[in-house]
Structure 1
Amino acid sequence: MENLKGDERGQMILLFAFVVVIVILTLSYVYAQNIIAGVESSRAMLAFPKEEIRNLQFIQQNYKDNLSEVNLQIQTLCAKNGWVCYIGLNKIEFKSVEVDYCEGDEC
């Protein structure tokens, strides 16, 4: 038993094991934070639909061209039956009005 009291090799092994555990825990915490940041940024990207807006702009730009092609095809089909057909594009305008109402002397 006297030989075991002066032996410090076991203490060094435990100390190095403790240091390794601390390093592993720190790395896992940093990794978890990176995953959380990635999830939040992907949610932000999903929240703003810029690709859908680009698709709508593309559809709107090509709408007149597509409508004129469809109109020619319909006129050709109707002409085979002796009919006169035309598809027109009406312009639609949207207007927005904001009304603020205030009652009393505070206005």
Structure 2
Amino acid sequence: MSTAEKKIKVNVWINEERLEALANAGMADRAIDAFAGMKLLEIYTTDEQKDVLLQRFPGAKYDSATTRSIELLPKRVKDRLLELSIKMHSTGPDVVGRFLEEAQTANSQ
């Protein structure tokens, strides 16, 4: 099993509009082919970040058996993760970290 397969991720589905936004940021190559012509962007997270996401979004689930991904996050969460990924030119845990910081700041105001 490769190192990439062991990482925890959030999969964001990429349509043509999103692919164009990724291309404009020089990140189109990070969108991988999934199936039936669909693409996705894998945004990686740490184990600790995974736990926080699952706590904040009780409807979300972690698939530890097959995809090692966090599923069923609200659309607005995935949309914001994509926006941050493009803004930060990253798909690493720093993206989820920034998202969690923003959410924490919003909750404390």
Give the structure with the higher percent helix.
1
TM-score, normalization by structure 1: 0.18
Query: Which structure is richer in relative contact order (CA contacts within 8 A, separation 6 or more)?
Result: 2
Give the structure with the higher percent strand.
2
Larger Rg: 1
